[in-house]
C-alpha cells in the first residue's frame, strides 16, 4: 500500500492480493497440478517431485516478473520460464511435464480463486465481527427512542436498536449469499489453450478433481476462461455488501454530527490540526472512502464480460486488476466499521432530547388517527397540521395545542380524548412497536459460522 492509501486502511497489516501472495498462489498451482497429474498416473512420479522442488526453490522477483509480463502480455509466463530454467539446470526429468496440458490463464485464474478464497474468509470474519457488535447494540437499545429521518427530515420515532438490527440482517444476508455463490465461483480453471482440454482430453476431469481437492477449490467440470458468470455473481455480491456498509457509515456519520450528537466513535485524541475540540468519525470516514469506488469497480467488472472468443484481449486482464481492488476496498470498509462498532458511544439522552425538542410534531400521524375517531379525517388533518406549526413556534407540546384549538372551535374535549392524544405523543409508548420488530429481527437473524475464518484471522498466507 502507498502512503496515501495506507492511512485510510484500518488494518495496516492485512494485505489481500499482494505480490507475495500472487507468486505463492501461482507456484502452488504449478506444483499441485504436477502432483495431481502424477496421482492420475499421467506423468512420472519423478517429474512431479522435480516440479514440486522447483516451485519450492525458485526465487521470483515481482519487479522482474512485471518486466517480463509486459513483454509477453502474460503474467504466468514470468512464472513458467524461471521454473523451466531451474528444472533444466537441476532436475531435467521434470522439464517436459511442467505446465503440461494447461495455459497461462489457467494459472492466473486458479491463483486468483485461491486468493479470493482467502479474501472471502477475511471479509466474512469482519462481517461476522461487525454483525455481532450490531446485534449487541440492537439488544441493548431495542427500546431506545430515536428520530426516524425521511429525506433527512424528522419523520417518526423508531428505535436505535431496530436500526442496528436492520443493518445486521442486511449484512447477514450478504454473508449467506457470499458463501453460497463462492461454492460455484471458487473453482479450478483447467481448460488449456482454448478451453477444450485438448491435451488432457478424457483425463481432464480426473485431473481437475484431483487438483481441486489438493487446492481446496471446487471443480466445475468446464472451462470458464471467457464465461465469467459465476465468478462475476460473486463479485457483484461483494459490491452489494459494500453498499450496505456505505449506508451504515453514512448513517453513523450523520448521527455523529455535533448538532445531532446521538453517536460518537471512541475518543482517539486530537483529530484536527487546527480545531482541538473536533471529534471526527475517523472509522466511518475510512469506510466511506473505501466504498466510494465500489459501484464503479462493479460496473467495470461487468464491462469486462464481453471477452472475445476463447481468450480475452484486454478485458480479462483488466478484470484481474479491478477484482482485487473490489475485495480490498470492501474488506477495509467492513474492518473500519467493525472497529467503529466496538467503540461506538450511544448517547441515548441526546436521542431523547432530539425527539422532545420537536414538541410532539413527529407524532402528527398517530395524533391525526386519534382525532379522526372524533372528527372527520380531513378536519383532523387540518387541525394537526396547523397545530404543528404553532407547537414549534410556541415551543409547546402538540397535544396541548390541539386541545386548545378544539376548545377554541367550540368542541367538547372529554378527558378520554385528551388521554389518547397524550398517549399518541409518548415516545416511550411509540418505540414499543420498533422494539418488538427489533427483537423479531434478532430472533430471525441468519448467523453463519464460516469455515476457515478463525484460521484466516491469524494467517494471511496459504
Quick one: DSSP state of residue 263? E
SS3 of residue 85 by DSSP: helix
What value does the mean pLDDT take over residues 400-425? 94
Confidence of residue 272 (pLDDT cuts 50, 70, 90): low
Is residue 420 in a domain?
yes
Is the Cβ–Cβ distance between 350 and 261 less than 8 Å?
A: yes
**pTM score of the predicted model:** 0.93
Q: Looking at residue 15, what is its pLDDT?
A: 86
How many domains does the chain fold into?
Answer: 2
Are 268 and 405 in the same domain?
Answer: no
Phi and psi at residue 217, to the nearest 5°: -115, 175
Are 173 and 129 in the same domain?
Answer: yes
Comparing 137-141, 246-250, 267-271, 364-368, which segment has the lowest mean pLDDT? 267-271
Taking CA atoms, 13 is separated from 69, 194, 327, in Å, by 28, 39, 16
Q: Which of 357, 380, 403 finishes a domain?
A: 357
Are 238 and 311 in the same domain?
Answer: yes
Q: Is the pLDDT of residue 347 over 90?
A: yes
Are 274 and 412 in the same domain?
Answer: no
Computed over every residue of the chain, the mean pLDDT equals 93
How do residues 374-385 score in pLDDT, each as one tens digit? 999 999 999 999
Looking at 70, 89, 268, 272, which residue is catalytic?
A: 272
What value does the mean pLDDT take over residues 8-17? 85
Catalytic: 272? yes
Cβ contacts of 381 within 8 Å, gap of 6 or more: 368, 372
Q: Looking at residue 31, what is its pLDDT?
A: 98
Strand partners, 346: 263
Confidence of residue 462 (pLDDT cuts 50, 70, 90): very low
Are 318 and 399 in the same domain?
Answer: no
Is the Cβ–Cβ distance between 97 and 37 less than 8 Å?
A: yes
Is the Cβ–Cβ distance between 343 and 251 less than 8 Å?
A: no
Are 300 and 409 in the same domain?
Answer: no
What value does the mean pLDDT take over residues 23-46? 98
Q: Which of 311, 342, 357 finishes a domain?
A: 357
- Written as nine digits, the cell of 363 is 407524532
Cα-Cα-Cα-Cα dihedral of 99, 105, 111, 116, to 10°? -160
Q: Looking at residue 70, what is its pLDDT?
A: 93
Are 237 and 305 in the same domain?
Answer: yes
Q: Which of 311, 341, 357 finishes a domain?
A: 357
- Written as nine digits, the cell of 73 is 502480455
Are 245 and 380 in the same domain?
Answer: no
Confidence of residue 446 (pLDDT cuts 50, 70, 90): low
Where residue 131 sits, what CATH number does that domain have?
1.20.200.10
Q: Looking at residue 10, what is its pLDDT?
A: 87
Are 269 and 133 in the same domain?
Answer: yes
CB atoms within 10 A of CB 48: 23
Is residue 52 in a domain?
no
Catalytic: 338? no
Angle at 410 between CA 409 and CA 415, to 5 degrees: 105
Is residue 41 in a domain?
no
Cβ contacts of 267 within 8 Å, gap of 6 or more: 279
How do residues 90-149 score in pLDDT, each as one tens digit? 999 999 999 999 999 999 999 999 999 999 999 999 999 999 999 999 999 999 999 999
Looking at 149, 173, 311, 382, which residue is catalytic?
A: 311
Are 245 and 329 in the same domain?
Answer: yes
Q: Is the pLDDT of residue 454 over 60?
A: no
Is residue 384 in a domain?
yes
Comparing 3-7, 23-27, 45-49, 150-154, which segment has the lowest mean pLDDT? 3-7
Is residue 216 in a domain?
no
Query: Would you say the C-alpha torsion 437, 442, 444, 446 has a positive or negative sign?
Result: positive
Is residue 389 in a domain?
yes
Is residue 288 in a domain?
yes
Is residue 365 in a domain?
yes
In this predicted model, which residue has the larger pLDDT, 431 or 278?
431
Q: Looking at residue 276, what is its pLDDT?
A: 59
Are 301 and 332 in the same domain?
Answer: yes
Domain that holds residue 326: 108-189+224-357
Is the Cβ–Cβ distance between 102 and 33 less than 8 Å?
A: yes
SS3 of residue 64 by DSSP: helix
Are 116 and 140 in the same domain?
Answer: yes
Give the span between the Cα atoms of 167 and 340, in whole angstroms. 14
Angle at 439 between CA 433 and CA 445, to 5 degrees: 130
Amino acid at each position: 500500500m502507498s502512503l496515501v492509501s495506507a492511512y485510510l486502511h484500518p488494518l495496516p497489516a492485512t494485505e489481500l492480493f499482494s505480490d507475495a501472495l500472487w507468486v505463492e498462489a501461482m507456484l502452488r498451482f504449478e506444483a499441485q497440478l504436477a502432483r495431481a497429474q502424477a496421482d492420475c498416473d499421467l506423468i512420472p512420479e519423478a517429474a512431479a517431485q522435480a516440479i514440486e522442488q522447483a516451485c519450492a526453490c525458485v526465487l521470483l522477483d515481482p519487479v522482474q516478473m512485471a518486466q517480463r509480463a509486459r513483454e509477453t502480455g502474460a503474467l504466468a509466463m514470468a512464472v513458467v520460464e524461471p521454473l523451466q530454467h531451474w528444472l533444466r539446470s537441476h532436475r531435467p526429468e521434470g522439464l517436459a511435464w511442467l505446465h503440461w496440458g494447461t495455459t497461462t490463464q489457467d494459472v492466473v485464474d486458479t491463483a486468483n480463486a485461491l486468493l479470493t478464497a482467502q479474501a472471502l474468509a477475511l471479509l466474512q470474519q469482519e462481517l461476522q465481527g461487525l454483525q455481532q457488535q450490531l446485534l449487541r447494540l440492537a439488544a441493548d437499545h431495542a427500546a431506545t427512542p430515536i428520530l426516524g429521518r425521511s429525506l433527512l427530515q424528522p419523520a417518526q420515532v423508531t428505535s436505535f436498536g431496530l436500526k442496528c438490527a436492520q443493518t445486521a440482517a442486511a449484512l447477514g444476508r450478504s454473508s449467506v449469499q457470499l458463501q453460497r455463490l463462492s461454492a460455484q465461483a471458487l473453482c479450478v480453471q483447467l481448460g488449456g489453450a482454448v478451453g477444450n482440454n485438448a491435451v488432457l482430453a478424457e483425463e481432464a476431469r480426473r485431473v481437475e478433481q484431483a487438483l481441486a481437492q489438493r487446492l481446496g477449490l471446487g471443480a466445475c467440470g468446464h472451462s470458464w476462461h471467457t464465461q465469467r458468470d459465476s465468478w462475476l455473481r460473486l463479485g457483484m455480491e461483494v459490491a452489494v455488501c459494500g453498499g450496505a456498509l456505505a449506508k451504515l457509515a453514512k448513517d453513523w456519520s450523520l448521527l455523529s454530527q455535533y448538532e445531532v450528537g446521538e453517536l460518537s466513535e471512541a475518543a482517539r485524541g486530537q483529530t484536527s490540526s487546527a480545531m482541538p475540540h473536533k471529534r471526527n468519525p475517523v472509522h466511518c470516514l475510512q469506510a466511506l472512502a473505501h466504498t466510494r469506488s465500489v459501484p464503479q469497480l462493479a460496473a467495470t467488472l461487468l464491462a469486462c464480460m464481453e471477452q472475445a472468443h476463447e481468450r480475452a484481449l484486454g478485458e480479462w486482464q483488466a478484470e484481474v486488476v479491478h477484482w482485487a481492488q473490489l475485495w480490498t476496498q470492501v474488506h477495509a470498509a467492513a474492518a473500519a466499521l467493525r472497529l467503529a462498532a466496538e467503540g461506538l458511544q450511544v448517547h441515548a439522552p441526546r436521542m431523547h432530547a432530539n425527539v422532545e425538542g420537536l414538541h410532539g410534531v413527529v407524532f402528527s400521524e398517530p395524533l391525526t388517527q386519534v382525532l379522526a375517531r372524533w372528527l372527520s379525517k380531513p378536519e383532523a388533518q387540518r387541525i394537526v397540521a396547523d397545530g404543528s406549526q404553532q407547537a414549534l413556534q410556541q415551543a409547546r407540546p402538540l397535544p396541548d395545542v390541539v386541545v386548545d384549538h378544539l376548545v377554541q372551535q367550540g368542541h367538547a374535549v372529554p378527558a378520554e380524548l385528551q388521554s389518547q392524544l397524550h398517549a399518541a405523543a409518548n415516545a416511550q409508548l411509540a418505540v414499543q412497536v420498533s422494539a418488538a420488530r427489533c427483537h423479531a429481527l434478532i430472533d430471525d437473524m441468519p448467523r453463519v459460522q464460516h469455515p476457515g475464518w478463525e484460521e484466516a484471522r491469524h494467517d494471511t498466507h496459504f
